[in-house]
Structure 1
Amino acid sequence: MPSLRRLPLLLPDHRGMTQETRSELRSLAGIAAPLAVAQASQLVMSLAASVLLGRLSGSALAASGLCAVFIQVLVVVSQGVIAGAHPLMAAAKGKSEAEGQGGDGAAYAFGGAVLASLVLSLISVAILLNLPAVLRPFGVSADILRDVDEFIAMAAFAVPAILWILPIRLYFSVSGKSWLTMASVAIGALFYVPALSILTFGGFGFAGHGLIGAGIAYAMAWWLIAAGLTVYSLATGHLPVSTFRNALRNAPQALKDVWKIGWPIALIYAAELGMTLILTLITSGLGTIAIIANQIAYTLNNIAFNPIVAIGQATTVRVAYHLGAGRPVAARLAGNLSLMTAAGLMAFFGVLFFLASEQIIHLLLGADTADLSVIQPLSQKLILILAGFLVFDGIQSAANGALRGLKDTRVPMIVGLCGYWLVGVPTAIVLALWLDLGVVGVWFGILAGIVSVACCLLLRWRYMAGIAVSPTDGAAVTRDGRGVLRKMTSPT
């Protein structure tokens, strides 16, 4: 039985919630809630595209799905690199406010993020415009390749707009103005759905252009979001022109600092996406029923994970902000509150999905779906496994966000690579293929990978937070070349 003295990093004070705790929770929610709404708007855009393009043809739906996967991979990996600016911005803001300095301390890291987004945009567009050539060796049918070429020729140019928004979104999350990002993406989603329908199928005096029109609508929506957000922010002073001037002055040097923190984050994202891709390929060989059941569970996982991503980003801001201001105890509190909030929210989703699994399956499939009597019990098994690991998924996301606030990204990268690829994927292969558990084995593999990552990151957070707050054993705290907290043992 562990001593209660070992638990204060994860439990609130026994006397009840303090004013400091309530204030920190409000700050976390103020950053996370608008980000979650913005991500929900993006989810609506994706679902609308699937529904409308499915009406065009099966080939069009498959082609747009392939394009969406590649766009997502490139954007998410690029986002990982750009996210290296997040703790730098928050720490600079915390330091400048604590010391009563004027100016915009976040401008330096903002410049590195902007330059990174420009470079990564060029690389991403070049890859996407050659996507048919990338897919051809994998035996993709000629019809789908033709549709891919039509859609991506226009949709590829949405990526620079998406990546341009990322540095601004990071800047606003640090300055407490995430609502601007939320409003711009929500407005863009409202524009995208009718524009997609009109440009694809025609209407209101416009001719439909099929997949080419769908690609144009996608690019137009994101450029509308990017241009509207930028112009409004500059005109109202939410993003001062002076910030751009200061950002451009030292952007090349700032890019190096952003890269040092960001590349391990990008690799974590790539490892997780890679695991998902491999396990999806394994599932695709297990039959139609397995694919449908897997898609149901995967959709529910995406719904639950949407607010958790926002909580992780908010945690990075609050931990780095407090640390930059010289308040390590407050930084630890922010991380711990985030962990408890994420775990509690995911537990709620897990219980909800488990109790309402039958109703959810009928909502997604309909009562007249072929083989429903076989799909439903299999889907319920996967939902049960999903309910089991959602709490751990919330913990690993929040712990990752907290550690990024400490600029600790390389150890979490190693943990992610080992957990996903040395635990998750092998477990899924053994259970699904060797022990003939099928898609149930695949999801047990996901469970094993996420649980191992979550437990290791939780221990890492406790260790690093302990260093930040109260170094022991005669050690002193210093920072390495990347700004990460380290213990320095006395030579005596």
Structure 2
Amino acid sequence: MLQLTRSQLNTEIRACLTLALPLAGAQLAQAATGFADTVMMGLLGSEVLAAGGLGATTFQGCLLVSSSIVSAVSPIAASAFGAGKTQELGKIVRQGMGLAVLLSVPIVVLLAFSRPLFLWLGQEESVAVQSEAYLKAIVWGFPAGLGFAVLRHFVSALSEPRPVIVIMVCGTIFNIFGNYVLMFGKLGLPALGLAGIGYASSLSLWGMFVALLLYCRQPRYRKYGLFRDLYQFEGRLLRELLHIGIPLGILTAAEAGLFTVTTFLMGQLGTVTLAAHQIALQTAAITFMIPLGISFATTILVGQRMGQQDLRGARLAGFTGMGLGVVFMAAMALLFWTVPEAIVSLYLNVNDSGNREVVLLAGQLLGVAAMFQIVDGLQVTAVGALRGLKDTRIPMLIGLLAYWGMGLSCGYWLGLRLGYGGVGLWWGLAIGLAFAAGILTWRFRALTDQPWAPR
């Protein structure tokens, strides 16, 4: 049993929050960019919104999975930093950048010529054409987005996350301004419509990457040798990045895929159900950004302690992160339970009788989402703690079993077979996430349940 004083616990909580708050803020800024893009697409009409939404979802999905793969830089760099291996850090970053390039090339080609794929998936010709135009504009920012992810995980591993949030907030503001200028042809520039939003996002991604790159060129970073031997291949490190990163990418794709399939199933139940689902899902996605930031911080702190051969400290950092994730999401769950109509009013006019069915169903889904929130906060921080131990393959299998084996099958059975509709589908999500949270927490406890003497 781990015995702690109040002072030790407070110190650990402060260390986690110092890292987590900037990282969570950065995730919120990223979510705000997507929200702003969607709103501004709507100004161009419903068909443009549909096409832009399809293109944006495709781009963000590819970037999310690829970023998860290069996030392997975080635990490896944190462990090297904890062990005082300064030169190793430069090698890790360089191989991470090489991996980002390798991932970017095929994805850029795929996205730039996406129209045949959209048509094959049954999209209308006009939507496919406009989506491809958007992707051809934004795709140039894909390598920069991945490069920024590598540098973001590097500076965070050094316990210096503040420049990340400053740069991302500035990037979000620039993106919104660029959308307006390029969409409508202001400042003497041509009006590019939907493609203008893509170009603005691409410029924003490059701006953030260059800004963080310049930050890393400060004299105090020279000891890490980030820009030394740029073309030197380190097979050992690249293999370690792939060994840790590929399962993370698969796990991210599995979780995102679960929500995508659930959305399609919601669509089969009618527009009221789908609209209510989108309200509840968008709300849950926003609150999820905070425990996601805590998860990244937990990875770094656990990795640093493992680099110092402090297994006791790694265990404490992991459970502190999980506790903070659960506490925050419990507070959000209380809001979902007590003021669902106030939340729905952010999206719809709740006094309009035409919206009444959606308002009522969205309130019911938010009630289920309250339980969903707590277990989601626990599972994502547990994944972060295990990532700090460089344990990703078994969590990947646990995630696949929980999300697709438990979550989707239970949701399908409850929602479509037993007739509980959208509420049943959401209970399936909650069951899958609860299963993942329990097993992942148990695994972290088992892996760190060792004698406390440093190894």
* TM superposition score category, shorter chain reference: over 0.9
Q: Among 462, 465, 470, which residue is 2:448 paired with? A: 465
Q: 2-side partners of 1:78 and 1:146: how far apart? A: 25
Q: 1:56–1:210: 8 Å Cα contact kept in structure 2?
A: yes
Indicate whether 1:312 and 2:300 are aligned.
no
Pairwise CA distance, 1:246 = 5.6
Q: 1:172–1:178: 8 Å Cα contact kept in structure 2?
A: yes
Deviations 1:422-467 (A, max 9, x none): 1011111111111121111110110111000001111111101103
1:239-250 map, 5 Å: 242-245=225-228, 248-250=231-233
2:6 is matched with 17
Deviations 1:230-289 (A, max 9, x none): 123314544767223166534443211110111111111111111111111111111111
Indicate whether 1:74 and 2:57 are aligned.
no
Q: 2-side partners of 1:411 and 1:50: how far apart? A: 36
One-letter amino acid of the counterpart of residue 23, structure 2? L
Q: 2:63–2:146: 8 Å Cα contact kept in structure 1?
A: yes
Indicate whether 1:52 and 2:40 are aligned.
yes
Q: CA separation of 1:405/1:246 partners in 2, compared to 1, >3 Å: closer, same or farther?
A: farther
Q: 1-side partners of 2:275 and 2:451: how far apart? A: 47
2:28 is matched with 40
Q: 1:112–1:253: 8 Å Cα contact kept in structure 2?
A: no
Q: 1-side partners of 2:450 and 2:71: how far apart? A: 24
SS of equivalent to 2:448: helix
Q: 2:407–2:428: 8 Å Cα contact kept in structure 1?
A: yes
Deviations 1:291-327 (A, max 9, x none): 1110111011111100111111111111111111011
Q: CA separation of 1:303/1:24 partners in 2, compared to 1, >3 Å: closer, same or farther?
A: same
1:486 is matched with none
Pairwise CA distance, 1:370 = 5.7
Indicate whether 1:301 and 2:284 are aligned.
yes
2:109 is matched with 126
1:4 is matched with none
SS of equivalent to 1:122: helix
1:267 is matched with 250
Q: Name the TM-score, length of structure 1 as normaliser.
A: 0.89
Indicate whether 1:152 and 2:135 are aligned.
yes
Q: 1-side partners of 2:93 and 2:135: how far apart? A: 30
One-letter amino acid of the counterpart of residue 180, structure 1? P
One-letter amino acid of the counterpart of residue 26, structure 1? R
Q: 1:35–1:310: 8 Å Cα contact kept in structure 2?
A: yes
Range moving further from structure 2, 446-455 or 22-31: 22-31
Q: 1-side partners of 2:452 and 2:380: how far apart? A: 22
1:431 is matched with 414
Q: How many residue pairs align between the two structures?
A: 455
2:315 is matched with 332
Q: Name the TM-score, length of structure 2 as normaliser.
A: 0.95
- Which 5+ residue runs of structure 2 have no aligned equivalent? none
2:191 is matched with 208
Q: CA separation of 1:352/1:238 partners in 2, compared to 1, >3 Å: closer, same or farther?
A: farther
Deviations 1:337-359 (A, max 9, x none): 11111100100111012212111
Q: 1-side partners of 2:201 and 2:288: how far apart? A: 24
One-letter amino acid of the counterpart of residue 405, structure 2? L
Q: 1:332–1:469: 8 Å Cα contact kept in structure 2?
A: no
Q: 2-side partners of 1:88 and 1:276: how far apart? A: 30
Q: 2-side partners of 1:255 and 1:47: how far apart? A: 35
Deviations 1:35-71 (A, max 9, x none): 1111111111111111111010111111111112111
One-letter amino acid of the counterpart of residue 11, structure 2? S
RMSD of aligned alpha carbons: 1.9
Q: CA separation of 1:280/1:189 partners in 2, compared to 1, >3 Å: closer, same or farther?
A: same
1:3-402 map, 5 Å: 8=1, 13=4, 17-18=6-7, 20-96=8-84, 103-235=86-218, 237-238=220-221, 242-245=225-228, 248-367=231-350, 369=352, 371-402=354-385
Pairwise CA distance, 1:120 = 0.7
Q: 2:87–2:223: 8 Å Cα contact kept in structure 1?
A: no
Q: 1-side partners of 2:337 and 2:17: how far apart? A: 26
Q: 1-side partners of 2:361 and 2:312: how far apart? A: 47
- Which 5+ residue runs of structure 1 have no aligned equivalent? 1-7, 472-476, 478-492
Q: CA separation of 1:282/1:466 partners in 2, compared to 1, >3 Å: closer, same or farther?
A: same
Q: 2-side partners of 1:245 and 1:468: how far apart? A: 40
Q: 1-side partners of 2:13 and 2:51: how far apart? A: 43
Q: 1-side partners of 2:396 and 2:24: how far apart? A: 24
One-letter amino acid of the counterpart of residue 208, structure 1? A
Q: 1:109–1:247: 8 Å Cα contact kept in structure 2?
A: no
Q: 1-side partners of 2:222 and 2:351: how far apart? A: 53
One-letter amino acid of the counterpart of residue 35, structure 1? L
Q: 1-side partners of 2:451 and 2:314: how far apart? A: 9
1:485 is matched with none
Q: 2-side partners of 1:48 and 1:366: how far apart? A: 20
1:453 is matched with 436
Q: CA separation of 1:395/1:367 partners in 2, compared to 1, >3 Å: closer, same or farther?
A: closer
